Chain A
Amino acid sequence: MNMDADVAIIGLGPAGLQAAIHAARKKVKVVALGKSASSALNKAEVENYFGITSAKGEDLLRIGREQAQRFGASIVEEDVIKLVKDGDAFRIVTETDLEVQARAVVLAMGIRRVKLNVPGEKEFLGRGVSYCASCDGGFFRGRAVAVIGEESEAAESAILLSEYASHVYWIHRGLKVSPQMLERAASTKIEMVPGDPAKILGEASVTALDLKDGRRLDVQGVFIALGAKGSMELALELGILPDPSGKISVDEDCRTEMEMVYACGDVTGMPWQLARAVGQGAVAGDNAAKAVRQGKS
């Protein structure tokens, strides 16, 4: 299935939804993609936002989605797994293989929380533990690995690693991936292992992964792949270079170094606060819509 948009907004947190509201009010065609449940705001209690003494983040996100839709934005509750420049447009592919062609893109996926926080994770970083299957998969040719995660990034990582590793265990606490991704994973040698990681073991490098139910998996690699691709990874795919901490530089109009690509919210820097995300979302959405309209005239 295909969709066309003037402005595609990637991320359904406060920055992305505010960008969708502002862009849609400029009467351009807006598609906003992502999962609000992945936003840091989803589990937060808000008490430091202007005009609100106490609110559940989950409720604000739900209202924000409804607002954006009321102004004409289409909401697609799916992870984006690919973002490429395609001539003058951008091509976005989601976890259900939906393709969106857009003239401008707003990156609003926030900062990925990648740490699993289990013993051995820090100790064996770079010696078996990795957060980047596309970077490090090649080092595990012919060896057994475990991928940990429930969402699209874990699926992508497991599928990629199945090309290199002798065996891939996909450890998860209940999968939240699309049927299309699940089908792709099922056609490989991936072994699904429902379970909860307890400890990464090894000596010079990783030798095993213990699960909380007492099972031990003999693996030489542990790939931690929580959540979905973040703004940083998507920016890199486009050729935009974030700084080493993952921050994407933007100007006062929330423009990145690439024409027609905007970024807003946590990924552009601190403080990681709702107020800043919303403010930047308004600027990014407004300017992306303006740029498209100027291009049209």
Chain B
Amino acid sequence: MDELEQIRERKRQEIAASSGADWPSEPVNVNDGNINDFIKRYETVLVDCWAPWCGPCRMLAPVIDALAKDMQGKVAFAKLNTDENQKTAMRYTIEAIPTLLVFKDGELADRWVGARPKEDLARRLQAML
């Protein structure tokens, strides 16, 4: 690859990153094995810790889906089933669900407990960008 082609490739990657093309538009299911990679991959990450039997988690799910779409390119959304991924649940001392963990630059920056309206979560996330 000549120098000009390298510059072109770099520019293509920069444009793709800035347009959010690499960012998921829906929540990605993560587990004990791959959550760390996901957290490190994006600048701002929200992990929805949930379980299938939890009513408030079901109430929150459509909100997380909608936010993942609205905030694509700004926040990457993931879902962690605490029943199947107890190692991560213990690591972050999850004692209530739903709990939303927010990571900035790979570090836990905040945690919000309970189902919340979309506008409230959008405002909180916007403040963290």
Tier of interface size on chain A:
20 to 34
* Contact across chains for A242 and B59 when beta carbons are under 8 A apart: yes
* Contact across chains for B95 and A135 when beta carbons are under 8 A apart: no
* Contact across chains for B51 and A205 when beta carbons are under 8 A apart: no
CB distance from B29 to the nearest CB of A (A): 20
* Contact across chains for A221 and B95 when beta carbons are under 8 A apart: yes
Whether a CB of chain B sits under 8 angstroms from the CB of A136 is yes
Which of B14-22, B38-46, B68-76, B109-117 lies at the interface?
Answer: B109-117
Closest A residue to B120 by beta carbon equals A244
Whether a CB of chain B sits under 8 angstroms from the CB of A132 is yes
- Chain A 240-254 interface mask (CB, 8 Å, partner B; 1/0): 011111100000000
Pick the contact of A125 from B53, B83, B89, B114 — CB < 8 Å?
B114
Task: Known contacts A135-B54, A236-B59; decide if A126 and B111 are in contact (CB<8 Å).
Answer: yes
Pick the contact of B57 from A135, A140, A237, A246 — CB < 8 Å?
A135
Q: How far is the CA of A204 from the CA of B111 in the complex (A)?
A: 13
Whether a CB of chain B sits under 8 angstroms from the CB of A128 is yes
Whether a CB of chain A sits under 8 angstroms from the CB of B122 is no
* Contact across chains for A135 and B96 when beta carbons are under 8 A apart: yes
Pick the contact of B95 from A136, A233, A236, A242 — CB < 8 Å?
A136
* Contact across chains for A241 and B95 when beta carbons are under 8 A apart: no
Task: Known contacts A126-B111, A245-B117; decide if A132 and B95 are in contact (CB<8 Å).
Answer: no
**Interface residues, chain A, CB within 8 Å of chain B?**
125-130, 132, 134-136, 138-140, 204-205, 221, 233, 236-237, 241-246
**Interface residues, chain B, CB within 8 Å of chain A?**
51, 53-60, 62-63, 83, 89, 93-97, 99, 111, 113-118
